Structure 1
Amino acid sequence: MKDISIDNATLSEKIAETIRGYILSGTLKPGDRLTEPKLSEMLGISRTPIREALRLLEMEGFVEIFPRRGAVVSVITDKDVDEIFVLKMKLESLAARLAVKNLTNEDIKKLEDINEKMEKYSLTKNVANLIKLNSEFHNLFISKCNNLRLVKFLESLLRQFKRATAYSFTETGRILKVLDEHKEIIEAFEERDADRVEKLVERHIRSGWAFISNKVAGKAV
């Protein structure tokens, strides 16, 4: 595994970020055991921050920690997909509606810039960057809803579900649909049409839900 740079984050957060990256990329697979001694050897770091990192990942839904067995990469089932998406669809569309009156012209320009970057990465199907930029797109308007509890709840949902969202960026047809749906949402924000924004965001998430459900039906990721 790669070396960890501390930067401004705590060591445990950087370790969690590294392990999370390997889970998202498929290097670490559902059911894989993550023992502290093995991780300590692989990362060249003492066990204490690793233990803290695993707790963070457990809170995010990436791992499960069992007594005497240690941490195991968690499994996402089709039931998990349904439970998370029904919440995401209703709450994120509400956040978008609330954000309409708070988004500046500069914010809307940022949404356009993010979507343009996604278009460039779509040519090479760079899944990692598409996931990152898609999160930035959604987080920008969510952060402008002016409701801290709603923001925190949606942050938790998004962290739990990054693995499954990778499916949306593995097929050209779906990538192009995501980009087109983003453009419609941006237009509705420009028009300051709260009803249309809410409807489009709900439809966008429902569309992703249907696509991902079809991909994980009958199997775990």
Structure 2
Amino acid sequence: MTLAEDAATQVRAWLYDGTIGRGIFHSVPEMAEKLGMSRSPVREGLLRLADAGLIEFVPQRGFRAVLPTGQDIAEIFALRLALEPDAAARAARLGAGRTAVARGLRSQLRQMRAAASAGDDAGFGGADELLHATILECSGNARLVALVAELRDTTRLIGANTAGRSRTHLEVLEEHEPFVDAIADGDPARAAMSMRRHLIDTGRLLITQAHDDGDTGAWRAWSRMVDEDE
């Protein structure tokens, strides 16, 4: 990776783990010193994060993390609900390759369980993200994989994830097991249904967090964007 990519990767990690807190302004020189880099690649890396909507620059003040609104969350989950249940169904329809996919998904579940037992938030989140990416890759659409990764990036800023604040890591893990089992069993309808249920549960928890953080329009946005009865 280039220095700019290194800077963007590290600052993104600090956004997720709370090192760069909400509502706090930071400067390019401050980040350059913290990263041990010159200002130019750090500025370039930060501009990439700004383009992705993860931070915003304010004249004379520096940059700060952008906290997703209820509208952001509702729009993101409307997109994920349009994409990921179908990807889970496609994974369940795979022929000879389904066994290998299921083996990989179960390995990621084991990694999630080990991380949960160790209290390793980063390890749990990484295995969770890889599990979803593995299912999406079954569509054969690289743009789809990248799009959902970007959507997940944005929602992580509202509090890394819902684990520990709204539900435990083991509860999150248990939501993944039904669609992994359905994919392994070659049951497309059950795979899509259980993925949809997982996404709706996750979205509702994030909307609750946004509401609790003061976004009084969060639930209205959810109701407008997401039809839970489809």
**Shorter-chain TM-score above 0.5:** yes
3-state SS of 2:67 partner:
coil
Superposed counterparts of 1:128-167, under 5 Å:
128-164=122-158, 166-167=160-161
3-state SS of 2:186 partner:
coil
Q: By how many angstroms is 1:45 displaced?
A: 1.1
Q: Within 2, Cα distance between the matches of 1:216 and 1:174?
A: 18
Asked if residue 61 in structure 1 is aligned to residue 61 in structure 2, the reply is no
1:209 counterpart residue number = 203
1:116 counterpart residue number = 110
Superposed counterparts of 1:85-104, under 5 Å:
85-102=77-94, 103-104=97-98
Q: Which stretch shows the higher mean deviation, 61-70 or 42-51?
A: 61-70
Q: Within 2, Cα distance between the matches of 1:100 and 1:212?
A: 28
- Aligned-residue identity in percent: 26
Q: By how many angstroms is 1:69 displaced?
A: 4.0
**Are the structure 2 counterparts of residues 46 and 121 from structure 1 closer, same or farther at C-alpha, using a change threshold of 3 Å?**
same
1:6 counterpart residue number = none
Q: By how many angstroms is 1:25 displaced?
A: 1.1
Q: By how many angstroms is 1:172 displaced?
A: 8.9
| Counterpart code for 2:184 | E
Asked if residue 178 in structure 1 is aligned to residue 198 in structure 2, the reply is no
Report if aligned partners of 1:95, 1:150 keep a CA contact under 8 Å in 2. Answer: no
Number of aligned positions between the proteins: 213
CA deviations on 1:132-151 (whole Å, 9 max, x unpaired) are 11101111111121123322
**Are the structure 2 counterparts of residues 150 and 170 from structure 1 closer, same or farther at C-alpha, using a change threshold of 3 Å?**
same
**Are the structure 2 counterparts of residues 112 and 172 from structure 1 closer, same or farther at C-alpha, using a change threshold of 3 Å?**
farther
Q: By how many angstroms is 1:173 displaced?
A: 4.9
Superposed counterparts of 1:37-52, under 5 Å:
37-52=29-44
CA RMSD of aligned residues (A): 2.3
Structure 1 gap segments, 5+ residues each = 1-8
Report if aligned partners of 2:91, 2:98 keep a CA contact under 8 Å in 1. Answer: no
Q: By how many angstroms is 1:108 displaced?
A: 0.9
1:84 counterpart residue number = 76
3-state SS of 1:201 partner:
helix
| Counterpart code for 2:107 | D
Q: Within 1, Cα distance between the matches of 2:111 and 2:192?
A: 24
Report if aligned partners of 2:57, 2:63 keep a CA contact under 8 Å in 1. Answer: yes
Asked if residue 125 in structure 1 is aligned to residue 119 in structure 2, the reply is yes
1:3 counterpart residue number = none
Q: Within 1, Cα distance between the matches of 2:168 and 2:70?
A: 19
**Are the structure 2 counterparts of residues 94 and 163 from structure 1 closer, same or farther at C-alpha, using a change threshold of 3 Å?**
same
1:20 counterpart residue number = 12
1:192 counterpart residue number = 186
CA deviations on 1:42-88 (whole Å, 9 max, x unpaired) are 22211111111112211332201244544222122233222212222
Q: By how many angstroms is 1:165 displaced?
A: 6.3
Q: Which stretch shows the higher mean deviation, 53-62 or 134-143?
A: 53-62
CA deviations on 1:95-144 (whole Å, 9 max, x unpaired) are 22233334531221111011112112222432121111110111111112
3-state SS of 1:113 partner:
helix
